[in-house]
Chain A
Amino acid sequence: MKNSWIKYIVSMVIAALLLYNSVYIRKLDAKPAAVSATALPGDFAEQFWKNEFKVFLDSAVELTQLLSMLKTDPKEATTSFSKTQGIGNTAYFLVKGEGIITAVSTDDVLVALQPGDDNAIVKINTGLYFGNAVRDVTGKISMGDFDNTMDYNTVSSTLNKIVQEQVIKPFKSKVVKGANIQFIACAEVNTAQPDTGMLNLLPVRVNF
């Protein structure tokens, strides 16, 4: 009888030990991107765009809400809606909005979110883009995911090329003054000077 109790207790302790070492609890925001960073950086970027980024579009914040918050409480706006990488002053926001194209030039268009209000005009990029907004706006890709930072940089360049081909080129071909558009875009804000000048947006989805 005593032996069976010993066996039972020993089994329970061993089971608890195994269970403890099988389960690791990590913060959800520490979860790495589902797409493997060990893939070639170009392939990684394509898979990320297809499988992760498009799902993330649903989380875009209303642009009018963000613009007003950047004026009244930029710190709160940054904390609530932006993603940053490492140490620096750049915060990336994913925003959505609707407006009328009021001017068209070679590398950008102006969009009036609320006609008649000068403060609600934004610039949407239609030229070449070289920053890290697409890579960094989700907060799901970090430098530490890669052995070599060149791979991390290649992911950014590849994502920019995808946006150029799949979003900017088709958008640019249809752009006309007076058109009404709905868009989702990345905004890059200098947190040291959050409310200076017109907001520049990189479109990631546009509908006419």
Chain B
Amino acid sequence: MKKINLIAFLLILSSVFLFSACNNAGSEKKKAKKMAIVVSTLNNPWFVYLAETAAAKAKALGYETKIFDSQNNTATESDNFENILVSDYCAILFNPTDADGSVANVKKAKEAGVPVFCMDREINAKGFATSQILSDGFSGSVEIAKYFVEVLNKKGSYVELLGITGDNNTKARSAGFHSVVDNYPELKMVAQQSADFDRNKGMEVMESMLQAHPDIVGVFCGNDAMAMGAYQALVGAGKEKTVKVFGFDGAEDAVKSIKENKLTATGMQFPKIMAETAAQYAHEYYNGKRDFEEKIPVAVELVTAKNVDNYMGYGKK
């Protein structure tokens, strides 16, 4: 009898040992082959492209997909996560609305055992998202700023249109730009205002800036939508030839505009690479992989009239 007890005891201990050695991987319930794609907004074609590319890649890998629009609102994003977490999705491909405000949603997903793969925008926390595939906006803006200094010949007044306040991409792009331009004392920023990454707001803000500062020679915009709006305002004021406009994103209309010598430059992000990498990682997670790099920068390339023929909207030809 004692012998049987001993064997039973050792078997229990061995099970505990094996359970621990598996690092819980084996205990997870296999979820349905469904991926949720949550994007900050579907009002901007860049994010539509990001979402649709992620969905297409996931479908090609054999998953059902559904795209959720957070409408640039963390409350809507939170509702999207609530719905996703009760609907047996195996992964979330996520473009956060707010670097701080979106952390709680990712945390909730992790607690529910659903891996989150961030695309383009980061969350300000470690240990919650399985991996974050992020545009290197700071370094991209450094490249744009170097060209800005060269084109403006190191002098003149300029203005800056910022994206959504609180968004890490807004901060990174502005900081990267200023890390270069602020070293040239004859380049003077005379106004800086948010236009929320929005084309119409970009036009309105530019119009009022032009009234207060008619002598500017350059505009740096945190995205292409605002740059296109700013360019429209400059056309309205008859200043499109004297004021150089710099954007960021690599959107289709911006690339076309550079080709037509309207915008001066943009930073090409690679939404296709980010979306497809996120979907691929989610697929690998589903198949058992667990060791992902937590944050992966994706390089941003400078697009000007000199090299624009190598590019198309959202990527390289």
Tell me if A153 is interfacial: C-beta within 8 Å of chain B: yes
Q: Is the CB of B17 within 8 A of A86?
A: no
Report B167 CB to chain A, min CB distance, Å.
Answer: 12
Residue B224 is within 8 A (CB to CB) of chain A in the complex:
no
Interface residue count for A (Cβ, 8 Å)?
Answer: 30
Q: How far is the CA of A130 from the CA of B177 in the complex (A)?
A: 10
Given the known inter-chain contacts A131-B142, A143-B134, A150-B172, please indicate yes or no for A10 contacting B295, CB distance below 8 A.
no
Task: Tell yes or no: A208 within 8 A of B by CB.
Answer: no
**Which residues of the partner chain B approach A14 to less than 8 Å between Cβ atoms?**
13
Q: How far is the CA of A5 from the CA of B183 in the complex (A)?
A: 76
For B297, what are the chain A residues with a Cβ–Cβ distance below 8 Å? 85-88, 143, 149
Whole-angstrom distance between the Cβ of B304 and the nearest chain A Cβ: 16
- Cβ of A64 within 8 Å of any chain B Cβ, yes or no, is no
Chain A 119-153, CB-CB to B under 8 Å as 1, else 0, gives 00000000010111000000000111011111001
Query: Is there a chain B Cβ closer than 8 Å to A51's Cβ?
Result: no
Cβ-defined contact, B6 with A6, below 8 A: yes
The reply to whether B295 and A16 form a contact with Cβ atoms under 8 Å apart is no
Residue of A with least CB distance to B297? A86
Residue B294 CB within 8 A of the other chain: yes
Q: How far does the alpha carbon of A88 sit from the alpha carbon of B301 in the complex, in Å? A: 9
Is A130 touching B146 in the complex (CB atoms < 8 A)?
yes
**Which of A's residues lie within 8 Å of B, judged by CB?**
2, 6, 9-10, 13-14, 16-17, 20-21, 85-90, 128, 130-132, 142-144, 146-150, 153, 157
A-B contact pairs, 28 of them (CB 8 A): A6-B6, A10-B13, A13-B10, A13-B14, A17-B13, A17-B16, A17-B20, A20-B20, A20-B21, A86-B136, A86-B299, A87-B270, A90-B299, A130-B142, A132-B139, A144-B126, A144-B293, A146-B295, A147-B124, A148-B99, A148-B168, A149-B168, A149-B295, A149-B297, A150-B175, A153-B138, A153-B139, A153-B175
- Apart from A9-B10, A153-B179, what 7 extra A-B contacts exist at CB < 8 Å? A20-B21, A85-B297, A86-B297, A87-B297, A88-B298, A90-B299, A144-B295
List the 10 closest pairs (A to B, CB-CB), nearest first: A88-B299, A86-B297, A144-B294, A143-B295, A144-B295, A153-B138, A87-B298, A86-B296, A13-B13, A130-B142
